[in-house]
Amino acid sequence: MPTPRFLTLDDVAEILNVSWSQAYALVRRKELIAIQIGGRGQWRIEVDELERFIQQKYAEARAGTVPPEEPAAAETASSAETSSQS
């Protein structure tokens, strides 16, 4: 059986060991390029595109150019630390 060309968001989430929502957020932010097929929510990611994304993330990590956390995530973590210290 040939290797499939496209993956679903569920497949991508499983491969990256993240939630479906996190995989979808990568698509929404255009960090991971996907195409929409058919009706609502039918996203497909090419295997080659996922590999490119992974290699890009490794290159960013090696170069030390990983973007900072999103402000909302940083504020939430900061708030949690402050309340736990009280």
CATH number at residue 35: 1.10.1660
Q: Does residue 38 form part of some domain? A: yes
Q: Does residue 1 form part of some domain? A: no
pLDDT value at 2 more than 50: yes
**Other beta carbons within 10 Å of 54:** 13
**CA 86 to CA 73: how far, in whole Å?**
20
Query: Which domain range does residue 18 map to?
Result: 6-77
The pLDDT score that the predictor gives to residue 11 is 96
Q: Does residue 22 form part of some domain? A: yes
Where does the chain show beta strands of DSSP type E? 6-7, 35-36, 43-46
Q: Does residue 84 form part of some domain? A: no
pLDDT value at 86 more than 50: no
Q: pLDDT tens digit string along 35-73?
A: 999 877 799 999 999 999 999 999 999 998 766 666 655
Q: Does residue 55 form part of some domain? A: yes
The pLDDT score that the predictor gives to residue 76 is 47
Q: How far is CA 60 from the centre of its chain?
A: 14
Residues 27 and 45: beta-carbon distance below 8 Å: yes
